[in-house]
Amino acid sequence: MSKQNTAKIILHVDMNAFFCSVACLLNPALRGKVFAIGRENSYRGVISSASYEARALGIHSAMSLKEAYTLVPDLIVVSLDYSHYVHYHQEFLKILHQYSDLVEVASIDEAYLDITPISKTRHPLVVAKEIQKRILKEIGLSCSIGIAPTLFLAKMASDIKKPLGITVLRKRDVKEILYPLSVADIYGIGKKTYPTLISHGVQTIADFMDLTNQKKIIDLIGNNTYQYAYSHILGNSSNVVDPNRRSESESISTSQTFDRVIRSSIEVLYELRKMTREVVNKMKKDHYYTKTITITMRNLDFKTITRSKSIDYTDEFDVIYEVVTDLVEDHYNDQELRLLGVGLSNLKDEKSLPRVYNLFTIENEDEKQRTIDKIIQEYQTKYGKNALFQTKKKNL
């Protein structure tokens, strides 16, 4: 009897230069141009994303705008309302959900999906190509896709061919495909970590996996990081795509560093109102509710003050902004500020929230009557026995 293959088939769909691609959809004149996403008409802040043409000239995400303009003086910098990114995020997710019920959002421009069931009747590579073509044709965005038996390997695979690449990475292919790559390509190895490894002779993933280098690597990056990367590269990691993984821990926030000094509570509340509207809109797009609201204030001495308040789960702007107002009134003392921010955390998907029952949602008559009796009893205790009572229903 032949052994049945029980390996999962997981796709990692990674949108190519997502922020810049959305900008090109909204303004086709940007196509082929050297441009980046950041704060327009300013030398403050950092680059969020760069077009492939800009990347070829050394521009990259997290680079300061000042450094970017020094490198490319005629760099075009554009900024877009976040709602545009959310819209296209939702559009590509709609396509993914047509192939699997198990879709896990990793970030606004990437997601995992488990296509094991559909792969019993269709080849995974055919499915991946179809998804890629549909996203390009129906939405106008390009993506790269990794196909692997674990989430980690699928993520590694999707990074190998960009843009518009598809890479199949089975466990038996790891040595052939991954080992020649730079240690900088190991997912989870930080930007400050891999230069240290390279400077000590650990240049490729093959070098990293060589047990003769084990002690040296652990001394450089620590045992936990080493064991995590080593086992994940071998394929010994999670193969579970969990659509609800982010629902309990995700947070949504926004902040802004101002060119001017914020000097009054009126200015603080004015700016925080706009930010609150932004984060609430993001939250509602993903059908989340929040329990904890946080404000952040940074003064001219770079001292950061963070204050939070938890309430019952809500997605209402007015309720959330009222909490923001309370936090400002309690903790802002007319100091001069350069940065403000708002964050929403302890988020839950609306489906995971406990149902709130009232007289309009209770269908069981006995349960409804018990609720009515309880309300009447509480009201009479407070206002007197004749304050509220129930009349008997007449038979017609």
Taking the C-alpha atoms of residue 89 and residue 107, their distance in angstroms, rounded to an integer, is: 9
The active-site residue, picked from 110, 267, 322, 367, is 110
State which H helix or E strand residue 80 sits in. none
Residue 219: exposed, middle, or buried by beta-carbon count in 10 A (0-12, 13-18, 19+)? exposed
Maximum alpha-carbon separation in the chain:
91
Provide the H-helix boundaries in the chain: 18-26, 52-55, 65-71, 82-96, 124-134, 151-158, 174-177, 194-199, 205-209, 214-221, 223-233, 265-285, 317-331, 365-383
Q: What is the DSSP string of 332-346?
A: --S--EEEEEEEEES
Cβ count near 227 (within 10 Å): 11
Taking the C-alpha atoms of residue 341 and residue 322, their distance in angstroms, rounded to an integer, is: 15
Cβ partners under 8 Å of residue 151, min gap 6: 10, 12, 104, 112, 237, 238, 239, 240, 241
**SS3 sequence, 116-159?**
CCHHHCCCHHHHHHHHHHHHHHHHCCCEEEEEECCHHHHHHHHC
Residue 92: exposed, middle, or buried by beta-carbon count in 10 A (0-12, 13-18, 19+)? buried
Active site residue 316: no
Which amino acid belongs to residue 306?
T
Distance of CA 56 to the CA centre of its chain: 27
Taking the C-alpha atoms of residue 271 and residue 268, their distance in angstroms, rounded to an integer, is: 5
End-to-end Cα distance, the chain: 73
Q: Which residues are catalytic?
A: 110
